[in-house]
């Protein structure tokens, strides 16, 4: 027996409504159901939830995730397109990381100037 939507929601800190939306919109494939129609998340279903959570954290839009699943369903002939979709997002993340590092460096510089001012009693911008 798999996990209920409540268990998956709690385990991955994703609201149940979001999980339902992901399934309805095509971000994840249809979830396994019990004979009575209750969602019964299998290991494969959970892997798709983990993938969606990771990809959303990486900044992929819902539309990109829907496209990714569509391509996945088409099979191995779409490997190149799936790789490209992920590579483009990776490139965006690297650019964002660079911008964050530059911002952190600027803040570190400013903080060091204020620390020096606290020690010397004088703020200089040399």
Q: Do residues 103 and 118 both lie within one domain?
A: yes
Query: Based on the domain organization, do 97 and 39 belong to the same domain?
Result: no
The tokens for 89 are 């997002």
Are residues 63 and 7 both part of a single domain? Answer: yes
Q: Say what the pLDDT of residue 76 is.
A: 97
As to burial, measured by CB atoms within 10 angstroms (0-12 exposed, 13-18 middle, 19+ buried), residue 12 is middle
Over residues 66-75, the pLDDT tens digits come to: 999 999 999 9
> Residue 18 sits in a domain of what CATH number?
1.10.1660.10
Contact by Cβ (8 Å): 12, 6? no
- Average pLDDT in the chain: 94
- 85 and 63: one domain? no
Q: Helices (DSSP H) in 1-124: which residue ranges?
A: 5-12, 16-25, 43-57, 62-74, 79-120
The Cα 64–Cα 87 span in angstroms is 12
The model's pLDDT over 17-31, given as tens digits with 9 standing for 90+, comes to 999 999 999 999 999
Range of the domain at 103: 79-126
Q: Are residues 67 and 11 part of one domain?
A: yes
């Amino acid at each position: 027996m798999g996990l209920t939507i409540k268990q998956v929601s709690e385990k991955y800190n994703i609201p149940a409504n979001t999980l339902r939306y992901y399934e309805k919109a095509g971000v994840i494939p249809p979830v396994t159901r019990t004979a009575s129609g209750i969602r019964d998340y299998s290991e494969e279903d959970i892997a798709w939830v983990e993938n969606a959570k990771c990809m959303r954290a990486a900044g992929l839009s819902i539309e990109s995730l829907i496209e990714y699943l569509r391509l996945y369903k088409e099979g191995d002939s779409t490997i190149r397109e799936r790789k490209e979709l992920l590579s483009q997002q990776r490139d965006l993340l690297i650019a964002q990381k660079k911008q964050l590092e530059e911002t952190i460096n600027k803040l570190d510089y400013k903080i060091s100037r204020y620390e020096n001012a606290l020690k010397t009693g004088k703020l200089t911008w040399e």
